[in-house]
Amino acid sequence: MATIRPLRADDLGALYHIALKTGDAGQDSTALYEDPKLVGHIYSAPYCVLSPETAFVVEDDEGVAAYIVGALDTRAFEALVEEKWWPQLRPFYADPMGAPPEGWTADQFRAFLIHHPHRTPDRIVADHPSHLHINLLPRLQGQDFGRRLMDRWLETMWAMGSRGVHLGVATANARAIRFYEAYGFSLIERDPRRETIWYGIKP
């Protein structure tokens, strides 16, 4: 029996694992990376460490197999990770800026984000100041846990006073796009340069 519960500190390893197993537009990215922690360093682990109150997981008999993480205030969270998260990682990952991007490995692309984190555009944050990331391992997909996780997380955000939530999804992640649109997220804009679609939802 799988259950949704608040995140615990000892879930950190599971968040790294899930991020890697869903890190290629929702598919397993294990074969793409030499360092299996790189995806989690960016998209899951900092929330576990710095914003655990806005994170939930699904745990079944095999362990934690899904998570939803995010932040109430995107700008405040960006400042927090710049102060407390990225400085701890940068000494371990070389900034690849000295080499042409067309020759970068997957590890180098992620290392670039550690040194030069993407900042969510002001036009997105203005009306949707909160944000989220959600990922489920295949064994939990198609069982309504995505919707239930989203319900739980958004209820928490609305109770905390959020005026709106945004998320970015890779244009190649068709399964996630279908889920967000079916759930009720509205298209904010498409960013072909970053191959990202921005969606938003309000209370």
Distances in whole angstroms, Cα of residue 62 to Cα of each of 44, 71, 126, 140 = 20, 28, 40, 11
Average pLDDT taken over every residue of the chain: 96
Contact (Cβ atoms closer than 8 angstroms) between residue 80 and residue 50: yes
Q: Distance between CA atoms of 105 and 107, rounded to whole angstroms? A: 5
Q: Indicate the residue type of 169.
A: V
Q: Indicate the residue type of 10.
A: D
pLDDT for position 99: 86
Over residues 101-144, the pLDDT tens digits come to 889 999 999 999 999 999 999 999 999 999 999 999 999 998 99
The two tokens of residue 78 are 């960006």
Q: Taking residues 188-201, report their average pLDDT.
A: 92
Q: Could you give all domains of the chain from N- to C-terminal order, each with its CATH number?
A: 3-120+134-162 (3.40.630.30)
Over residues 66-81, the pLDDT tens digits come to 999 999 999 999 999 9
Q: Taking residues 23-35, report their average pLDDT.
A: 95
- The order of strands in the sheet holding 56-60 is 3-6, 56-60, 63-71, 130-136, 165-170, 196-201, 186-191
pTM assigned to the model = 0.94
